[in-house]
Each structure stands twice: as C-alpha cells, then as structure tokens.
C-alpha cells in the first residue's frame, strides 16, 4: 500500500443518507468543542434539513462549526440559511466559486469533491454520500428507489489525519478570503494559523497498541498527493489473488489503471465491475462505454446497475493478509484522479469488507450483465456517442495539462 495501514480503528459502514444523516445528527448533537464538515453537494431540503439544523444547534451552544461546500456542486448557501447560520455562529466557506463561461477554464475544474466530517477530533465520517436526499436528484427529480452510495464512521488514528487535512484547507480558504478583501493583517493572521495547523505536514505516524481494524486515510489533491488514490488502487490490484469487486459511478480508467486490471485478470483474478446503468450525464455515461471492449475481452465481468443512480465509489478485494475494502469519494475517472480533492478510507478487515461485499452482491442482482456480443451490436449512433464523449474527455485532460 502507498499509504501505511495502521491498527486500532473501529468502523461502521453506512449505506445511503438514510443511515448517514441520523449518524451525523447524533454526532453533531454530542459535539463538545468542534465540528468540521466538507461536501460537494449540500442540498438544504428534505432529509438533509436535520443535519443543517444540528449544525445550527451546535454553533448556538458555542461549539466551533466550520462548513466548506464546493462552488459548483452547492453554489451559494441559501439566504435563509445564511441568516440562520450567521445568527447561530456557523462559519462557512465556498470552495472555488465559479459561474457561467468561467466553467470552461481548466483551472476551475479543480473541485472539492470529498465528503468528510470530523467531531471533536475524535470521530470522523468519510464516503461518497453528498448531503442530498436519497430519493431526489437535482437533474432528474424524484427517484423511485434510493441512490446507491456508502460512507464510513470511524474512530482511531486516522481521525487525526481527517482533522489535519480539513484544518489545512479551512485556513487556506481563510487566507484567500482575507487577501481578496485586501485585509493584509487578517491574511497574515490566517497564514500564521495555517502554519500552526501544519499545512505542510503529512499524515500522523502515531504509536499505538495493536488491535482493531487496520485502516488509512488516502487523499488526492493538487499538491503532495496527486496520484495517491490511483496508486493505492493499483497496488491493491497487484496484490489481489482471487476476487476484485469494484462499484464506481464514473468509471473511465487511465492507461495505468487499465493495465493493472488487465494484469490481475490474466493472473486469473475474478474481476467484477458494478457501473452506472442509468443515463445521468453525457460524458461519463458514454465515455465509460468506450473502454468496455478491452475489459470484456480480458474476461472482466461488467454489470450495469439499473435500479436507481449508482453513486458509490467502493471496492472489495482479497489480499495476502486479509480482505481489503475502500469507501470514499473518488471516482475512477480523470476528473477525480487528476483534478479534484478526494478522500478514501482503505480498510483491511474481514468483517468490514465482508459487510460491504454483501451489500454489493445484493446490488449486482439489480443490474444488467454486459456481454461482448450485445456490446458490439450496439447501434452505430450509440457507438459514435461513446467515442465522441471519450474524445472530449481525453481532450479535456490534454487541455488541463495532465497525462492519463
């Protein structure tokens, strides 16, 4: 593993907002000193309202509450909640806000896509679940079945890593905010606070007694950890002996990751990919299908989930020292692996991996198996759409100055 796995963790797998949101509310209501939360989408409606109300209550009882949302995924906080949060003392920042034609500029493609929360430096949440109702999609409206997604609740050493990375980002945003307002004194204070937060430090290497689940927080950013998540996947695939099961919403692997999958398949590893089966966005839907041929030819099984939207970014695979699982925010596509801030928890624990594996096996029953013959017989217009989308994706990678 690129990131050392450390022992002494307790983990709880959470399936969907129906399990995550009540767990967040309970943790926030129990907070004594600090709540930090980051998300790509924060939708102030439906089942998310108890979470934003819990943040309001926490700040009102003088807990430090800091919230960061992405400028594209969320945009501006609604005026009503700006007033309510300001009155209670909730502090919030919008990461890289951008509108209109500026979205065409490559520098604006660097998004905050990770979903993290840390409570009092003792408890953390990490996963792929946005603060968005399971039965609601901003582009497609009501869903008849819940979105498929996962998060993990964790205590143990990696909580300090979550706290550190969130604190560093908060103070970077604070420095930028003060600089934009030409408040040089405030900017200098923020720089000093950022330095105290250890902006240039990596994850802790704590000394502890052996016990609990073995886990690590693996990050991707545009500074020190540019290839960390992809690299960890590749190493895990190289160690897999008999089975790999990956569920990923937007699956457009680069050359190195494709080679890792193909090498594992040639060794006789049974690889199953649970991918998006419903049309959501043009580019990821079509571009992913442009890479099916080579994977299917290698004997990799592809199942397209059709019950609802697949938003999960998880995997389970065997390894020489026990089952390995990951739950996080990173898609296996260039926008996650090259541009966005992402966070995954990697876990080596048979019980945790077995629970996630059972969830995925049930999800596979609601999917359509893609076979080579039917894939090759798809309509020519669909083929054109696949390769146009893939070409656009590769061009976007080229324009952004990355290699994939």
Structure confidence at residue 201 (pLDDT) = 40
Asked if 291 and 252 touch (Cβ cutoff 8 Å), the reply is yes
Over the stretch 230-288, which tens digit does the pLDDT of each residue have? 999 999 999 999 999 999 999 999 999 999 999 999 999 999 999 999 999 999 999 99
Over the stretch 76-106, which tens digit does the pLDDT of each residue have? 899 999 999 999 999 999 999 988 887 778 7
The pLDDT of 143-161, averaged and rounded, is 98
Mean pLDDT for the chain? 91
**Structural domains in the chain, sorted by start:** 6-196 (3.30.870.10), 217-399 (3.30.870.10)
* Catalytic residue numbers, as ranges: 113, 115, 120, 311, 313, 318
Structure confidence at residue 205 (pLDDT) = 35
Structure confidence at residue 339 (pLDDT) = 92
Structure confidence at residue 226 (pLDDT) = 86
Question: What are the angstrom distances between the C-alpha of 151 and each of 271, 303, 312, 319?
Answer: 23, 22, 9, 22
The residue ranking higher by pLDDT, 1 or 55, is 55
* Percent residues over pLDDT 90 in the chain: 81
Structure confidence at residue 206 (pLDDT) = 34
End-to-end, the C-alpha distance of the chain in Å comes to 21
Nearest of 357, 332, 322, 329 to residue 345 by alpha carbon: 329
Over the stretch 310-358, which tens digit does the pLDDT of each residue have? 999 999 999 888 899 999 999 999 999 999 999 999 999 999 999 999 9
What lies within 8 Å, CB to CB, of 204 at 6+ separation is: 157, 160, 161, 164
């Amino acid at each position: 593993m690129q990131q050392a796995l450390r022992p002494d963790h307790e983990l709880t797998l959470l399936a969907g907002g129906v399990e995550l949101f009540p767990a967040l509310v309970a943790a926030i209501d129990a907070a004594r000193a600090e709540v930090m939360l980051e998300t790509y989408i924060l939708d102030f409606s439906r089942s998310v309202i108890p979470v934003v109300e819990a943040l309001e209550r926490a700040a009102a009882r003088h807990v430090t509450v800091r919230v960061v949302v992405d400028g594209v995924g969320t945009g501006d906080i609604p005026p009503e909640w700006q007033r309510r949060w300001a009155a209670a003392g909730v502090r919030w920042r919008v990461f890289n806000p951008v509108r209109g034609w500026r979205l065409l500029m490559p520098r604006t493609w660097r998004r905050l896509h990770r979903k993290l929360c840390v409570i009092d430096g003792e408890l953390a949440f990490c996963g792929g679940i946005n603060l968005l109702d399971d039965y609601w999609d901003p582009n497609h409206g009501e869903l008849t079945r819940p979105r498929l997604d996962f998060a993990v609740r964790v205590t143990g050493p990696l909580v300090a890593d979550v706290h550190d990375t969130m604190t560093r980002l908060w103070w970077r945003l604070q420095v930028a905010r003060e600089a934009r307002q030409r408040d040089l004194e405030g900017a200098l204070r923020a720089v000093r606070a950022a330095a105290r937060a250890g902006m240039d430090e990596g994850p802790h290497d704590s000394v502890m007694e052996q016990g609990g689940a073995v886990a690590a927080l693996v990050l991707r950013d545009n500074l020190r950890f540019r290839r960390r998540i992809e690299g960890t996947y590749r190493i895990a695939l190289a160690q897999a002996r008999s089975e790999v099961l990956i569920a990923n919403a937007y699956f457009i692997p680069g050359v190195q990751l494709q080679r890792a999958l193909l090498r594992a398949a040639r060794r006789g590893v049974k690889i199953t990919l649970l991918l998006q089966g419903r049309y959501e966005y043009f580019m990821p839907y079509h571009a992913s299908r442009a890479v099916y041929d080579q994977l299917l030819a290698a004997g990799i099984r592809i199942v397209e989930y059709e019950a609802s939207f697949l938003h999960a970014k998880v995997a389970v695979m065997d390894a020489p020292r026990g089952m390995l699982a990951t739950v996080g925010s990173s898609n296996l596509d260039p926008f996650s692996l090259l541009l966005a801030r992402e966070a995954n928890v990697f876990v080596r624990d048979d019980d945790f991996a077995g629970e996630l594996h059972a969830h995925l096996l049930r999800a596979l029953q609601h999917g359509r198996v893609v076979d080579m013959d039917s894939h090759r017989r798809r309509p020519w217009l669909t083929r054109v759409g696949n390769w146009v989308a893939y070409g656009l994706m590769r061009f976007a990678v080229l324009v952004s100055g990355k290699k994939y």
